[in-house]
Structure 1
């Protein structure tokens, strides 16, 4: 064998790796684990943290069928082994089997939840396996009886043979009909009570949902103690969004803790536990001077809120599996600009609204759907702009649309500048944050993944109709 190859099997995710052996009269050499080459051929970049060795003194030693909540990479150092696997994961492939004889020239990647078993075919057999989580003594994981009739594993040495040695524990393992399938790792929504959190909980109904009273993501001890090994994806919808109050001494501290420290702690946990982290950011990380903000634009925040969000962006991008989603002008359940304008329209008020800030609304339903799309399609990790589509509008133009949809004239909404609108607050000494005047996000990268967000006015009509 001169080339490294990887082959799929009947069990999803279980891969056979053919390893080239380079030898001469002295023996042989092989690259047992070669991350760069193997990942390039399709092996998951599974991040092993522990290397275990198993020595079998006599031919016929048989172990299994054991299921663990981690991925492993199994290979033989000395001798030959018959190996068999049974899919113990909940789903359509539950009960699927695969078996193969492996020697030094064959390795197998075993995904989490697939039961494994080995029968030594020679005396003095040694096999090793890399795993991507640490063994915890005392924990019990699903196991299957080696003699299970459903799996019907074709053992080369019959299990009733005098050569075969099986532990008492493995003799007592249940049949497949009595096995509780291993459930997939879960999704965690952080900040579940907010506008975006509520939208995400509808799109991810099986996700665990927490708020700061249950998991304070700004507390290093709380983050370290959370059972991250149970999760695959973390959706961070928590943030401090009081833009003007962030300019006060107390607000500044709160903003930095929530928007910078907390994402940094989540990013560290994501790296340590190989999680996918989805973090939501803001157009406020830009100064608003670009015609359209692309994902690659250098950060240039104007105020404390934008600065703290920019710091969070930098922290999140340190973890390999991240989706950093930048959005603008978010509208969902709860108090927001659109509902405020509708209330004013219904009360007969004719407001003045700024007309020199341009952007697009982002409805939380669109934002949640876009996040689900990135995750389910396996879009490349990285930064994505997400807003609703359509022509950019000013806040004044959006308010006028809300008035028209509420039975009032668009002319009842007067235009003003940002400077004039906040002049009274500034004169009164109230904290005011600078705003980016242009918040238009370029959606090209998002649309290239196959997701086209609805037009903001179409979404606005649907939102008010509801």
Structure 2
């Protein structure tokens, strides 16, 4: 930072299983950005929520139930203390044009390369990577401050998301195994929906839903 002296820093770095990089790392980036007077846009996650309320707008207080969610919430707290003018952009499942983890998993499940299921009761609001990127660039170049929610308008289960991906890519959606997260007893929240209404009003970027951007 000291050598480059950037005007803007967008921090999208994380490692789900590592508190040091996700929590401490974000704090170090915020301190370094503040030291050179750079504007900071930090990418956070819907994992900061438990799912107890289902629908969360930008005023909702984090109540994480997983180590990753706790690390992301800790990062948010540090950034707000170090750099009150920063933007913290919470997002959901990020989908691309074939390169995301979710898309690769769907292909692997359909072809039998891996075993497993896609949950019918775990709901999120997927966002297309280009919409997310455009929104982050808007935050970087405008006067946005504080918490912003950047996710798609469609709330879909992981299984429905997989079905949409399969249909787009010409795969057989009936080959996707389904299951319930509640039966698997995983420590992840079941239903977390980011309400982006307030943020969308101030964005020129349209945050499309999965049913739109995954249409064939």
What TM bracket, shorter-length normalisation? 0.7 to 0.9
Offset of 1:228 from its aligned partner? 5.9
Aligned equivalent of 1:338:
103
Larger fraction in strand: 1
**Residues 1:284 and 2:47 are matched in the alignment:** yes
Offset of 1:263 from its aligned partner? 1.4
Number of aligned positions between the proteins: 213
Aligned equivalent of 2:7:
232
Q: Deviations over 1:193-237 (max 9, x none)?
A: xxxxxxxxxxxxxxxxxxxxxxxxxxxxxxxxx426721111111
Aligned equivalent of 2:197:
444
Q: For 2:70 and 2:114, how far apart are their aligned partners in 1?
A: 35
Q: TM-score, normalised by structure 1?
A: 0.42
Aligned equivalent of 1:196:
none
Q: CA RMSD in A?
A: 2.4
Aligned equivalent of 1:329:
93
Larger fraction in helix: 2
What runs of 5+ residues in structure 1 fail to find an aligned partner? 1-225, 247-254, 424-431
Aligned equivalent of 2:127:
362
Offset of 1:312 from its aligned partner? 0.2
Runs of at least 4 residues off by over 6 Å? none
The answer to whether the 8 Å contact 2:161/2:210 transfers is no
Q: TM-score, normalised by structure 2?
A: 0.87
The answer to whether the 8 Å contact 1:384/1:446 transfers is yes
**Residues 1:388 and 2:175 are matched in the alignment:** no
Aligned equivalent of 2:23:
260
Q: For 1:261 and 1:403, how far apart are their aligned partners in 2?
A: 38
Q: For 2:63 and 2:128, how far apart are their aligned partners in 1?
A: 25
The answer to whether the 8 Å contact 2:168/2:214 transfers is no
Structure with greater Cα Rg: 1
Q: For 1:370 and 1:415, how far apart are their aligned partners in 2?
A: 33
Give the SS at the match of 1:342: helix
Q: For 2:130 and 2:112, how far apart are their aligned partners in 1?
A: 28
Offset of 1:292 from its aligned partner? 1.3
Give the structure, 1 or 2, with the largest relative contact order (CA under 8 Å, sep 6 or more): 2
Q: For 1:366 and 1:411, how far apart are their aligned partners in 2?
A: 29
What runs of 5+ residues in structure 2 fail to find an aligned partner? none
Match of 1:458 among 188, 212, 216: 212
The answer to whether the 8 Å contact 1:271/1:320 transfers is no
Return 307-316 or 367-376, whichever deviates more: 367-376
Seen in structure 2, the aligned counterparts of structure 1 residues 269 and 235 have a Cα distance that, compared at 3 Å, is same
